[in-house]
Structure 1
Amino acid sequence: MTETARADDAGPITASVIPGLGTALAGITMVAMLVPVRRGVDDPVVWAGVAFAAAAALAFLIRRHSDIDQTVSGSIAAGSSIAVVLLAGYALNQGTMGSVSLPTVSSSIPVVFVAFVTAGLTAGVGVADYFGIGVGGLKRRGQQVVVLTGVGFAGLFSPYLTTPVIAIPVVPFLDSFSEVQRTLANQVVGQVGMALGTVLVVGAFLKVTDRDLSFIDLRRPTLRDIVWIVGGIIVLFGVLYAISLSMQATGVESADHATTQNAEKAPEMLLVLIPLAILVIGPFEELLYRNVIQKSLYETFSRAGAVVVASVIFAAVHVLAYSTAGLGAVIASLGTIFGLSIVLGVIYERTDNLVMPALVHGIYNAVVFTNLYFLVG
């Protein structure tokens, strides 16, 4: 266990405030999961979600009003809440939303999604209680997650600023290009814009946090590192296969990446994306989400915790890319991204070398794009 995972400010306040916060969040989760039940939805998945939310609330209540070991109550609360996340996600995927109309605006909110979110927060509080992390520690971690999530989304939106600049010298020639050439040019410009935007965000982060380029973990791969690359690619595809099988077995539908839909219209774009996956997409995404975000999380989280939190952020920033279907399908796809991100995060955590996850990520994407090209080409 690393220093940041230990009880950093545990004390009497931990025994009341943290369990109290967990109880409140678990209560909200339970109420949200009960909304479909009150509307006549007799789904075992929803009932199971209610039961697990109640178990989490009960664990926090017992922890608050008795001398039960915090590792016992924390593990029960965290485990039960993770179960609610999975069950609520599955319910959303199957169309159980429990939507409630908002009185002041002409829209509604899917209450089961509220349960999905609050259950995730409850799981985090349960982990904090398990390790004896107090209010101050929870606040520091929460603030850092918010800031680094902002950094992640800055990386997502930065190409909207940089790509038009990169496109300026290309625009005068577009009229003389064929349709295929324009498609390829757009892909190259877009990926270069992404790379430049990522560099600007990373540079700004290093400047604001008073760090220099030594923060970037770049070194020549050793023979051991090559083994990590090969093993990582195998594991990455193994995880994808396992997730796909479980989704098929449970009837879970996922959303297509926007690239997949675009490739169906213009398969030629994949011929550019295949090399760019290795040269641009893998390296620059890993630079931001692993070397900057995950490494920064080492300051306040254990390394394992940093891998998980960075993967949550990585999945969250992909929401727009997968917004090609309904909410439940998007959540399923983000769950897959989260699982794949865990593998990349572990590779980086084990090697402390950006080259490793960058190559694994890039080669994985290149293989996926190649397969997609033969499917739609």
Structure 2
Amino acid sequence: MSDTAQAVEGEDDGDPLPSAVVPTVGTVLAALTAAALLIPARDGIDEPALWIAAAGALLTTGLFLTRRHELLERRLAGPAAAGSSLLVVLLSGYVITQGVLASVVLPGLGWSISLLFAAFFVAAGTVGIAVADAAGLSSRGVKRRLGLTGEMLVLAFVGLIGISIAAVFLSLPVQLLAGEPTELQWTVVEYLSFAVGLGGVAAGYLAFRGRERSFIDLEAPTLWTVGWVVGGLLLILAANLGISSLMTAVGIEGSDHTTTQRVAENPDLLLVIIPSMILFVGPFEELLYRNLIQKSLYERFSRPGAIVVASVVFTLVHISAYATAGAGQLLASLSLLFVLSLILGAIYERTENLLVPALVHGCYNAVIFLPMYL
């Protein structure tokens, strides 16, 4: 067992709260998911995937109940509940991409919410609870991991704010010297802001946590590094092609990135965007999301768990960038982004060298935009 795994298990010893708390939470979440799916199914939405998802949620509820009353071993019930919840996530997500939202208005508030989106997100949380239960984590252990996840989410969104603040200050000299920036000038400022904003936030977080510069996993390139970069780039491009083809085959459409729409209107922007992906976006996004967020998550999560959680954070932060179409298209694009982030996280975990995922990420982005220039 690795040192990380030993630390994860050891930290939960002596929890004064009853062991049934985690499966009880899982039961509540699974029951809420089932209710959110059964209401539109009862209302006559003719979608087989919806009925299967509802059955999966009911199965998950039953599995957690058996765990709560100690009728089934956690090493059997936990993985089964995680698997059935994951199926619910996939099926409810598919239904959403088909344009079914099952929106309802909350009484007294006038707010409209989508029951399908509620089921999707609650089922995703249920997967995490099921994994925690299978691993034998106590309620204290779950709380600690949720706390660290929340901290990483805050750090990620502070990174977005940092980019915006940096853009304001970097645009000031341009405005003073040349007046209102052109779109090309603003694009230069925008990508320089990635370096200044994310780099500044990263430095601030390291100082806040009292971590040395050695926390940054940056090593000189070698032939081994080049091999990982080439192999990682081919893998992530193949994953993009495969998943995109699968989505097309089942009738799922994604949304365009906001940058893609800008490039369609002004192709000259690619002269700035393509090199910036390699020089700024890839390196500084990987610095924040992999070297800081994912590595910090190693303190309480297993390595695979940290990769998944960091990828969730990475995906959530990119919602605004893909919010160019309907809810179904947005979810499809974010699902693809999540898988690609898992690959980058795995590459970083294997190599422990920021240079590798930074180059893979940057080159991947550049390759995606390159056909628009040719």
Give the TM-score normalised by structure 2: 0.95
The residue number in structure 1 matching 2:43 is: 39
Query: Could you tell me how far 1:174 is from its partner in structure 2?
Result: 3.6
Between stretches 13-22 and 265-274, larger displacement belongs to: 13-22
Contact 1:78–1:123, Cα closer than 8 Å, also in 2: yes
Tell me which residue corresponds to 1:298. 298
The question of 1:139 aligning with 2:143 is answered yes
Cα contact 1:7–1:131 (8 A) shared by 2: no
Paired residue secondary structure (2:25):
helix
Bigger shift: residues 317-326 or 3-12: 3-12
Report the alpha carbon displacement of residue 193 of structure 1 after superposing the two structures with TM. Answer: 1.4
CA distance in 1, matches of 2:10, 2:249: 41
Asked if residue 24 in structure 1 is aligned to residue 28 in structure 2, the reply is yes
Does the 8 Å contact 1:26/1:54 carry over to 2?
yes
Identity of aligned residues (%): 45
In structure 2, distance between residues paired with 1:176 and 1:16: 62
Show CA shifts across 1:92-132 (max 9, x none): 11111111112344430001101011001100000001100
Query: Paired residue for 2:166?
Result: 162
Which residue identity lines up with residue 265 of structure 1 in the other structure? E
Alpha carbons of structure 1 residues 206 and 176: separation in structure 2 relative to 1, 3 Å:
closer
Output the CA distance in 2 between the equivalents of 1:184 and 1:134. Answer: 53
Structure 1 residue aligned with 2:274: 274
What is the deviation of 1:328?
1.4
Q: Distance in 2 between matches of 1:289 and 1:72?
A: 33
Give the 3-state SS of the residue equivalent to 1:142 in structure 2: helix
Letter in 2 for 1:17: V
Match of 1:62 in 2: 66
C-alpha contact (below 8 Å) 1:14/1:133 kept by paired residues: no
Q: What does residue 237 of structure 2 align with? A: 237
How far apart, in 2, do the equivalents of 1:3 and 1:257 lie?
41
Q: What is the CA distance between 1:67 and its match in structure 2?
A: 4.3
Q: Give the conservation status (yes or no) of the 8 Å contact 1:46–1:88.
A: yes
SS at match of 2:206: helix
Partners of 2:331 and 2:18 in 1: CA distance: 33
> Residue type of the partner of 1:300?
R
Distance (Å, rounded) in 2 between the aligned partners of 1:242 and 1:326? 23
Change (3 A) 1:301 1:218: same
Q: Secondary structure at the match of 1:227?
A: helix
Residue number among 99, 103, 108 corresponding to 2:107 in the alignment: 103
Alpha-carbon deviation of 1:293? Answer: 0.2
Secondary structure of the residue aligned to 1:221 is coil
Amino acid at match of 2:372: L
Partner secondary structure for residue 158 of structure 1? helix
Pairwise CA distance, 1:172: 3.3
TM-score (norm 1): 0.95
Within 2, Cα distance between the matches of 1:291 and 1:176? 37
Match of 2:9 in 1: 6
One-letter amino acid matched to 1:130: A
Q: What pairs up with 1:92-131 in 2 under 5 angstroms?
A: 92-131=96-135
Contact between 2:348 and 2:354, CA under 8 Å: does it hold in 1? Answer: yes
Q: Is residue 90 of structure 2 the alignment partner of residue 86 of structure 1?
A: yes
Deviating more after overlay: 280-289 vs 94-103: 94-103
Distance in 2 (alpha carbons) for counterparts of 1:190 and 1:228: 29
Secondary structure class of the residue paired with 1:246: helix
Cα distance change of structure 1 residues 336 and 207 upon mapping to structure 2, 3 Å threshold: same
The answer (yes or no) to whether the contact 1:49–1:83 under 8 Å persists in 2 is: yes
The alpha carbon displacement at 1:64 in A equals 1.2
Cα–Cα, structure 1 residues 68 and 15, in superposed 2: closer, same or farther, change >3 Å?
A: farther
What are the Cα deviations for residues 4-38 of structure 1, in whole angstroms up to 9, with x where unaligned? 45374267956411111000000000000112112
Amino acid at match of 2:343: V
Q: CA deviation at 1:205?
A: 0.9
**Alignment deviations for residues 192-214 of structure 1 (CA, whole Å, 9 cap, x no partner):** 11211112211221122111211
Equivalent residue for 1:153? 157
Query: For the residues of structure 2 that align with 1:145 and 1:273, how far apart are their CA atoms?
Result: 31
Q: Give the count of matched residue pairs.
A: 370
Match of 2:76 among 72, 76, 95: 72
Preserved CA contact (<8 Å) 2:104 2:115: yes
Stretches of 4+ aligned residues off by more than 2 angstroms: 1-15, 102-107, 172-177
Q: Which residue of 2 aligns with 1:224?
A: 224
Map Cα deviations across residues 306-339 of structure 1 (whole Å, 9 max, x no partner): 0111011111110000000111111111101111
Aligned AA (1:40): G
Identify the residue that residue 341 of structure 1 maps to in structure 2: 341
Query: Structure 1 stretches of 5 or more lacking a match?
Result: none
